A and B are shown apart, each in its own frame.
Chain A
Amino acid sequence: NAGVTQTPKFQVLKTGQSMTLQCAQDMNHEYMSWYRQDPGMGLRLIHYSVGAGITDQGEVPNGYNVSRSTTEDFPLRLLSAAPSQTSVYFCASSPERGGYHEQYFGPGTRLTVT
């Protein structure tokens, strides 16, 4: 199993550009999520999905869109990039084992918006 994969690893955008961060998992996990990691602020949930066709907002959803057309993929779209979106983005997936969750993280995408 590849686990959770993310592409690209690094990206530089200009303000106003749009792009999609890709996330895929091959573990048949229903729950997937996107976080941003900023110094001093830890990980903050952007969007999450509890299954194909179902998405919901986390703590910091503004400026981001998601969709979940398949169990495996959960792309994150930046509609019009802003410098405040410079961050490291992590995708994670989670099974529910015995009624409890744990998350498996991807390697991250480092995004810089200039």
Chain B
Amino acid sequence: AQRVTQPEKLLSVFKGAPVELKCNYSYSGSPELFWYVQYSRQRLQLLLRHISRESIKGFTADLNKGETSFHLKKPFAQEEDSAMYYCALFIRTGNQFYFGTGTSLTVIP
């Protein structure tokens, strides 16, 4: 069973529009959740993690345990946000990371 679900494979928004990338997870314990980003020709890198409660490059993500979601949001998309975004879950008991299938975000100028 898929532990992490990202329902949108492709997402296009106009520059300046709000963007939300959806992520739902399946885990009954305390999750460690992350968003990773892969820009063109760059390696995967951490964007943010739920424990930090921080905003990186204008992105935020709130853990909703009731809905088992960790959606990534940004109020005003920029062209440089175009990239592949992966939601990831770390389960401590199994020592394994689980990644979603990714969402390719394109910001249209």
Q: Do A42 and B101 touch across chains, with their CB atoms under 8 A apart?
A: yes
Q: How far is the CB of B6 from chain A (nearest CB, A)?
A: 8
Stretch binding the partner chain, chosen from B12-20, B53-61, B65-73, B89-97: B89-97
When distances are taken between beta carbons in the complex, the residues of chain A under 8 Å from B101 are 40-42
B95 touches A35 (CB 8 A): no
Contact B46 A44 (CB under 8 A): no
Contact size range, A: 20 to 34
Residues of chain A contacted by B26 (CB below 8 angstroms): none
The chain B residues found within 8 Å of chain A, CB to CB, are 6, 9, 32, 34, 36, 43-46, 49, 51, 86, 88, 90, 95-102
Add 12 more A-B contacts to A50-B95, A106-B43 (CB < 8 A): A42-B86, A42-B100, A43-B99, A44-B99, A90-B43, A100-B32, A100-B49, A103-B36, A103-B46, A103-B97, A105-B36, A107-B43
Binding site for B on A (CB under 8 A): 31, 33, 35, 40-45, 48, 50, 56, 58-59, 90, 92, 98, 100-108
